[in-house]
């Protein structure tokens, strides 16, 4: 009788009659609480009704009772993916594959969640499995090209995209991915052409808009780049984190007397770079509420804001909101109008004497080093270097090196470890103010030194993040910065050697004692 009831329930379910199906699933479970099929199908209804956490519990219980049902694992994977639990989703896909063989849709789902985890080599392998089974599956080809791009195999990606374009000549994703590969190679004009072709085929294709924005900004065309960069989805990500807020986004209009929430996005370095716009908002009469990471709170405290809150604190009432990195667009910023007339942040005064004693105890020209960005950043492998690459700097006579790196065990001999005292960015700012020079890869330390007006040499990959532009030795965002770039992708040796020669010349010329001239 239970099986007959279950079949009737499934019929209701397939026709979208969820109330009737759910009632019958409960009827089956009332008499047979351990029926795995009823538990699994009731879990699907919970998911369809928006209660995905409850769905997970029901399907996991079904799997405890029947661990050999591939369809249970597939639905578990889909729900985990929906909840952003990509590791659990990947595990479920692998278990389904072990039970049900090499189905194309299972491999494709696995490729998507592996890409979301940043496991790009594994995502590439999964996409190739799909293509073996379904050679004309366009999504699989896009997944494969995206995986190649994510491993910085841009030339290989372009060759592959040229081959498959004959299969899908009107697929906008192919042109968008070609644009990404060309951008990764520093070929800005061809990248822009490919991305615009993607947009001709699909005018609302967000990835092509966003990457076109990157290509325009990297080339210095800020005015055209900002609107395209807006497609990064900062507001939707904010609402996913904070929930629906029911307040309009500031469009650049009058602000006097308005409570404006400037919300955090991206990393600490981004927040530091664009904090320069907060005083401009206050000048327009805005009552600014600034959201930031907890590690930035004390550093940002002197900014002219009505309220400073961290990302884990409740939101107050406000009239308008705007993402922090959306401010340059609202101020129509160009290379000529970047607010960069001088330092726009300062280290808090308390405990400054302790830092002077701590760093002043070491003789010589004092240089702070940072070589590693935030590991979760998808471009970190491109912008960061191994600490061993910096060893040539250790041997520069008359120079004392200090590590500004957090959580780095086993420093090379010759680096003074400041980590125990770098408890937030306010403390890092105090340390930087006591140094003569900072040498850093593209990470928050470089932005902080520039924001403080401290001489900073930024060590950059061949094709850097958009804010450093291409090929120039200086930065319009930070007048105290000198940019030292790779000649070839991945070649940190030449970058460090250039920095070493510059440091030797600086010390030899006697300008080390005049730290204010370092960034010249």
* In the predicted structure, residue 271 carries a pLDDT above the cut 80: yes
Would you state the pLDDT for residue 379? 76
CA distances to 51, 242, 285, 337 from 245, in Å: 21, 8, 23, 33
Bridge partners of 485, per DSSP, are 460
CA distances to 16, 80, 284, 472 from 77, in Å: 22, 5, 50, 47
Residues 131-141: what's their mean pLDDT? 93
* In the predicted structure, residue 101 carries a pLDDT above the cut 80: no
Q: Give me the percent of the chain exceeding a pLDDT of 70.
A: 97
In sequence order, the 6+-apart residues with CB closer than 8 A to the CB of 30 are: none
Cα 95 vs. chain centroid, distance in angstroms? Answer: 30
Comparing C-alpha atoms, which of 266, 317, 313, 267 is closest to residue 291?
313
In sequence order, the 6+-apart residues with CB closer than 8 A to the CB of 169 are: none
Q: Give me the percent of the chain exceeding a pLDDT of 90.
A: 76
Q: Write down the H helix ranges in 101-245.
A: 104-117, 120-133, 138-150, 154-164, 172-184, 188-201, 206-218, 222-229, 234-242
Tens of pLDDT, residues 103-125: 899 999 999 999 999 999 999 99
* In the predicted structure, residue 213 carries a pLDDT above the cut 60: yes
Would you state the pLDDT for residue 9? 63
Residues 272-298: what's their mean pLDDT? 97
* In the predicted structure, residue 448 carries a pLDDT above the cut 70: yes
Comparing C-alpha atoms, which of 305, 315, 340, 323 is closest to residue 264?
323
Assess whether the region 2-231 and the region 352-517 belong to the same CATH fold: no
Would you state the pLDDT for residue 380? 77
Q: For the chain, what are the domain ranges?
A: 2-231, 236-330, 352-517
Kindly report the number of other CB atoms within 10 A of residue 295's CB atom: 19
Q: Vertex 421, ends 416 and 425: CA angle to 5°?
A: 110
DSSP string, 272-312: HHHGGGHHHHHHTT-EEEEEE-GGGHHHHTTSS-SEEEETT
Would you state the pLDDT for residue 37? 86
Would you state the pLDDT for residue 77? 94
510 band by pLDDT with thresholds 50, 70 and 90: low
353 band by pLDDT with thresholds 50, 70 and 90: confident
DSSP string, 334-354: -TTT-S-SS------STTHHH
Residues 40-64: what's their mean pLDDT? 90
Would you say 462 and 489 are in contact if contact means Cβ atoms under 8 Å apart? yes
d(CA 417, CA 176): 44
Would you state the pLDDT for residue 81? 92
* In the predicted structure, residue 514 carries a pLDDT above the cut 50: no
Would you state the pLDDT for residue 519? 40
Residue 474 is classified by DSSP as: B
Residue 377, helix vs strand vs coil: coil
Can you give the pTM of this predicted structure?
0.89
Residues 212-238: what's their mean pLDDT? 96
Tell the burial category of 104 from Cβ atoms under 10 Å away from its Cβ (0-12, 13-18, 19+): middle
Beta strand pairing call for 399-403 and 415-417: parallel
Query: In this predicted structure, which of 165-169, 421-425, 512-516 has the lowest mean pLDDT?
Result: 512-516
512 band by pLDDT with thresholds 50, 70 and 90: very low
Would you state the pLDDT for residue 516? 39
Which fold does the domain 2-231 belong to in CATH? 1.25.40
Tens of pLDDT, residues 74-84: 999 999 999 98
Would you state the pLDDT for residue 256? 95
Across the chain, what does the average pLDDT equal? 92
Tens of pLDDT, residues 367-402: 999 999 877 677 778 889 999 999 999 989 999 999
8 band by pLDDT with thresholds 50, 70 and 90: low
Residues 209-222: what's their mean pLDDT? 98
352-517: CATH superfamily: Glycogen Phosphorylase B; (3.40.50.2000)
Would you state the pLDDT for residue 352? 81
> Which H or E run contains 439?
strand 437-441
* In the predicted structure, residue 486 carries a pLDDT above the cut 90: yes
Which residues in 324-428 belong to E strands, given as ranges? 365-370, 399-403, 415-417
């Amino acid at each position: 009788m239970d099986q007959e009831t279950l079949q009737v329930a499934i019929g209701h379910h397939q026709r979208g009659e969820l109330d009737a199906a759910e009632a019958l699933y409960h009827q089956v479970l009332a008499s047979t609480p351990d029926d795995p099929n009823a538990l699994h199908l009731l879990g699907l209804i919970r998911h369809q009704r928006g209660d995905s956490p409850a769905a997970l519990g029901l399907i996991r219980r079904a799997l405890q009772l029947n661990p050999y049902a591939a369809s249970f694992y597939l639905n578990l994977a889909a729900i985990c993916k929906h909840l952003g639990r990509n590791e659990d989703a990947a595990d479920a896909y692998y278990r389904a594959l072990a039970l049900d063989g090499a189905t194309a849709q299972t491999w494709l789902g696995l490729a998507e969640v592996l890409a979301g985890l940043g496991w790009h080599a594994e995502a590439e392998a999964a996409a190739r499995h799909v293509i073996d089974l379904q050679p004309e599956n366009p999504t699989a080809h896009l997944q494969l090209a995206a995986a190649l791009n994510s491993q910085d195999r841009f030339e290989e990606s372009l060759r592959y995209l040229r081959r498959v374009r004959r299969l899908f000549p009107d697929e906008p994703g192919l042109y968008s991915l070609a644009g990404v590969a060309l951008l990764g190679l520093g070929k800005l004009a061809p990248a822009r052409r490919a991305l615009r072709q993607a947009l001709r085929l699909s005018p609302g294709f967000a990835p092509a808009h966003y990457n076109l924005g990157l290509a325009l900004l990297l080339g210095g065309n800020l005015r055209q780049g900002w609107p395209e960069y807006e497609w990064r989805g900062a507001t939707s990500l904010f609402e996913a984190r904070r929930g629906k807020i029911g307040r309009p986004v500031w469009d650049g209009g009058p602000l006097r007397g308005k409570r404006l929430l400037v919300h955090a996005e991206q990393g600490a370095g981004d927040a530091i770079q664009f904090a320069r716009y907060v005083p401009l908002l206050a000048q327009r009469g805005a009552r600014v509420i600034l959201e930031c990471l907890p590690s930035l709170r004390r550093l940002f405290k002197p900014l002219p804001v009505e309220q400073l809150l961290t990302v884990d604190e409740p939101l107050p009432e406000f009239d308008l909101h705007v993402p922090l990195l959306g401010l340059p667009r609202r101020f129509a910023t160009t290379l000529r109008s970047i607010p960069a007339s001088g330092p726009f942040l300062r280290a808090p005064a308390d405990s400054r004497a302790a830092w002077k004693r701590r760093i002043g105890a070491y003789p010589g020209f004092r240089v702070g080093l940072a070589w590693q960005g935030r590991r979760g950043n998808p471009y970190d492998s491109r912008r960061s270097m191994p600490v061993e690459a910096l060893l040539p700097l250790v041997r520069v006579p008359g120079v004392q090196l200090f590590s500004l790196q957090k959580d780095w065990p086993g420093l090379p001999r010759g680096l003074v470890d400041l980590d125990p005292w770098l408890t937030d960015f306010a403390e890092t700012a105090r340390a930087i103010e006591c140094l003569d020079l900072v040498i850093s890869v593209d990470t928050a330390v470089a932005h902080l030194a520039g924001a403080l007006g401290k001489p900073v040499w930024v060590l950059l990959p061949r094709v850097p993040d958009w804010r450093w532009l291409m090929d120039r030795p200086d930065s319009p965002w930070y007048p105290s910065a000198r940019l030292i770039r790779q000649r070839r992708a991945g070649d940190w040796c030449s970058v460090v050697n250039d920095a070493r020669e510059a440091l030797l010349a600086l010390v030899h010329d006697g300008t080390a004692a005049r730290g204010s001239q370092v960034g010249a």
